[in-house]
Chain A
Amino acid sequence: MVLSGDSDLLEIVVLSLRVSLTATAIACFIGLIVGALVAISRFRGRNALLILMNALMGLPPVVVGLLVYLHLSRSGPLGFLGLLYTPTAMILAQTILITPIIAALSRQILEDLHAEYAEQFRSLCLTRMQTIEALLWDARYSLLTVGLAGFGRAVAEVGAVIIVGGNIDHLTRVMTTAIALETSKGDLALALALGIILLVIALGVNAAVQSVRMTAARQAYV
């Protein structure tokens, strides 16, 4: 089934990647900025914010799914957008789920790097924006791993996307929801095929990121 290029299977895989990669990209954009700002800032309540950021890393997907559902359902505040049971709703749920992961992990990496650079940057009189830009660039290889963690969480997640996506065939069915459905129906061949693809994607992305990091480490860029 995997090797024969089954069109249904391909459709599910492509949608899964589209949803999770889009969610990861949006989460990286928001999470890295938040992580960097918190990393270089000192303000009252910072410790409480760090605790909150770390706690949000463990957000239960079904709770996120429920909250997004309540907002997007017809009677909810964003119901007029008509996004429920669409890939956009799934992207939104996954973005909410992984943005705290990106923000919390990147904050730690950027704070450590900032501790090393801070005096040099103050001596060069960098603005806050220049500091964030420099930190994000110099930590780029470490931050790849953060992005990978976010993507891994997104692509493997089932609870939120099944609530807001509905697992509709040819519309919102992704690998994880399809595996859950096909397993419950007893179609273990398709479930297994999707499981293998999910594992291969996870391994492939990890291998690619690890390879980039090793190259960077040889040049002392990590």
Chain B
Amino acid sequence: MSDTALTLSAFLSRPAKTTSILPLSVRDLVLNFGETTVLRGLDLDLGPTGCTMVMGQNGSGKSLFLKLLHGLMQPTSGQIRWGENPAEKVTARQALVFQKPVLLRRSVAANIDFALKARGKERTRRDGILDHVGLLDKAGQPARLLSGGEAQRLALARALATDPEVLFLDEPTASLDPASVLMIERIVGDARARGVRIIFITHDIGQARRMADDVVFMHGGRIIEHSPASEFFPDPKSDVARDYLNGKLVV
């Protein structure tokens, strides 16, 4: 990765000067699967900048909440407004990186080209993006032969190539080695510094401490707590969050 490629703004255009889709407002959001309620009356307000970490034990509803925010699913009831827009109207102005990167059966470069073409972006920006994530020398290699860390960096690069205003990350560093985790965090940090709104699910408390501006803590399909990181980590308001941070929360 070259030193000249340390800022995304060197090769990514800034989000178009249209009306921002931020802030986010969620009101009384409910999601049912048949008779089972999996998300129960969620309310949340997020400002236009920063990095929000979504935490909580497995099965607390974090990933489903993220998909609802991204417009990939429809809630049973309740409201999600990105600025003045419903979630499904702004999906194209956001990007999502999954825990297990979904890479096309093509070369590394072709994976970026695919996203650029899908969003009508210039293909000439591809090499700069790959350089930024340290994959330029692997541009011609089959994407599915990359290591776990490299594959996730490619998925992140593909997401950033679409110039999202909001970047969702669903445990992107789970099962990665520490060096790969730090590289992902650096890339996400650069995107955040450029003004991309980050909403990041993690179980890694150290990572959350390093990156969070604020924390949304979920449990049993509810938002238990939403606090600035500076308040959440030293003094969580809820017992369940305190137990989670202390490693005492067991299903």
Contacts and interface: CB of A to CB of B under 8 A. Distances in A.
A221 B106 contact: yes
A124 B115 contact: yes
A134 to B, nearest CB: 7
Task: State the majority secondary structure of interface residues on B.
Answer: mixed
A83 B92 CA distance: 52
Interface string B85-124: 0000001101110100010111000000011001100000
A220 B144 contact: yes
6 shortest interchain CB distances as A-B pairs: A220-B144, A120-B102, A219-B142, A125-B92, A138-B105, A221-B105
A130 interface: yes
Nearest to A120: B102
Given A119-B72, A119-B98, A220-B144, A125 B106 contact: no
Interface residues of A, number: 18
Nearest to B91: A125
B91 A220 contact: no
B118 A122 contact: no
Interface centre among B92, B98, B114, B144 (most CB of A within 10 A): B114
A137 B105 CA distance: 9
Interface in A88-144: 116-117, 119-120, 122-126, 130, 134, 137-139
Contacts of A125: 91-92, 118-119
A2 interface: no
Interface of A: 116-117, 119-120, 122-126, 130, 134, 137-139, 219-222
B142 A221 contact: yes
A124 B105 contact: no
B72 A123 contact: yes
A122 B96 CA distance: 10
A2 B162 CA distance: 59
A126 B116 CA distance: 12
A222 B92 CA distance: 29
Contact of A220 (B67, B94, B105, B162): B105
B145 interface: yes
Given A122-B91, A130-B118, A137-B106, 4 more contacts: A123-B96, A138-B106, A219-B144, A219-B145
A124 B155 CA distance: 12
Nearest to A221: B105
